[in-house]
Amino acid sequence: MPELSARKQRVADQIQCELATLIQMEVNDPRVGMVSVTGVEVSRDLAHAKVFVTVLNTLGADGDVNQATLSDPGALDQLEVQQNIKALNKAAGYLRILLAKRLNLRSVPKLQFHYDASIRRGQQLSSLIDSALAADREQHVEKDTD
């Protein structure tokens, strides 16, 4: 993996911070729900930026917000994630203009939004580890009672 330059990393961090605020405050598209910006990758020439987002508080089949922050992705959730990403990519030009006003850069990178499934995978791995630990405890309890 190539090492990031300090400037490139600072630009990516600043874009991530500013986009988190701008998406929350300035994007009025009803397709965009609670979105968290989890990371930004900036190209070497600072012309393009991949913005990774996670959709939070997805709606269940009955229309109510799920109790868990991230629900287990079903067909409805995948559709909602796709709609959020499509809406954010459509608003990318507007967000780029707002970023240009906030950042001191000669040229602001073109934004492209991608879904970041790492949080969901982390939750799945965590639940697998918890179930393995519970099964291990049960085995130790059974051996101790014998």
Query: For residue 141, what pLDDT band results from cuts at 50, 70 and 90?
Result: confident
Distance in angstroms (rounded) separating the CA atoms of residues 68 and 127:
13
Alpha-helix runs per DSSP H in the chain: 6-26, 75-90, 92-102, 118-145
Residue 29: its pLDDT value, please? 83
Closest of 54, 50, 38, 40 to residue 10, by C-alpha? 40
In a 13 Å sphere around the CA of 126, the CA atoms on its Cβ side amount to 6
The reply to whether 111 and 123 lie within a common domain is no
The 10s digit of each residue's pLDDT in 48-67 is 999 999 887 655 445 454 44
The reply to whether 30 and 93 lie within a common domain is yes
The reply to whether 125 and 104 lie within a common domain is no
Residue 69: its pLDDT value, please? 43
The reply to whether 89 and 17 lie within a common domain is yes
Supply the CATH number for residue 76's domain.
Answer: 3.30.300.20
The reply to whether 85 and 133 lie within a common domain is no
The 10s digit of each residue's pLDDT in 64-112 is 544 444 445 555 578 888 899 999 999 999 999 999 999 888 889 999 9
Residue 17: its pLDDT value, please? 93
Would you say the pTM of this structure is higher than 0.85? no
Residue 125 resides in a domain: yes
Looking at the 3D structure of the chain, how many domains does it have?
2
**Range(s) of the domain holding residue 136:** 118-146
The reply to whether 38 and 101 lie within a common domain is yes
Residue 91 resides in a domain: yes
69: which residues sit within 8 A by CB, 6+ positions away?
A: 56, 57
Residue 71: its pLDDT value, please? 47
